[in-house]
Amino acid sequence: MDRVLKITNRSEFLRYLDSVSKINDSAIFEIKPEGISCLVSSADSTLVLFSEYALASEFTTTINVPDIKKLFRVVETINEDVVNLNINGNNIEYKGKGIKFKYHLFEEGFLSKPNLNLDKIRSFKFDITFEVARNTIQQLLKGSTFASETNKVYLYTEDGELKAELTDRARHNTDNFAITIGKADYSLKPLPVNFDNIRLLSNVNDTYGFNINTDYGVVVIDNCSDHTKLKYIISSLTQ
Residue 207: predicted pLDDT: 96
DSSP track, 151-215: -EEEEEEETTEEEEEE--TTSSS---EEEEEEE-SS----EEEEHHHHHT---SSSEEEEEEETT
Neighbours of 47 (CB within 10 A): 26
pLDDT of 118 reads 86
4-105 against 125-235: fold identical? yes
pLDDT tens digits, the chain, 239 residues: what are they? 579 999 999 999 999 999 999 999 999 999 999 999 999 999 888 999 999 999 999 999 999 999 999 999 999 999 999 999 999 989 999 999 899 999 999 999 899 999 888 888 888 899 999 999 999 999 999 999 998 888 999 999 999 999 999 999 888 888 999 999 999 999 999 999 999 999 999 999 999 999 999 999 999 999 999 999 999 999 998 75
Q: What is the pLDDT of residue 148?
A: 87
- Its CATH architecture, for the domain 4-105, is Roll (3.10)
pLDDT at 1: 59
> What whole-number distance in Å separates Cα of residue 94 and Cα of residue 74?
10
Looking at domain 125-235, which CATH architecture does it have? Roll (3.10)
Question: How far is the CA of 113 from the CAs of 26, 87, 105, 142, 229, in angstroms?
Answer: 10, 21, 16, 33, 18
Strand order in the sheet with 207-213: 61-65, 27-32, 35-41, 47-54, 228-235, 218-224, 207-213, 128-133
Domain boundaries, the chain: 4-105, 125-235
The pLDDT of residue 212 is: 96
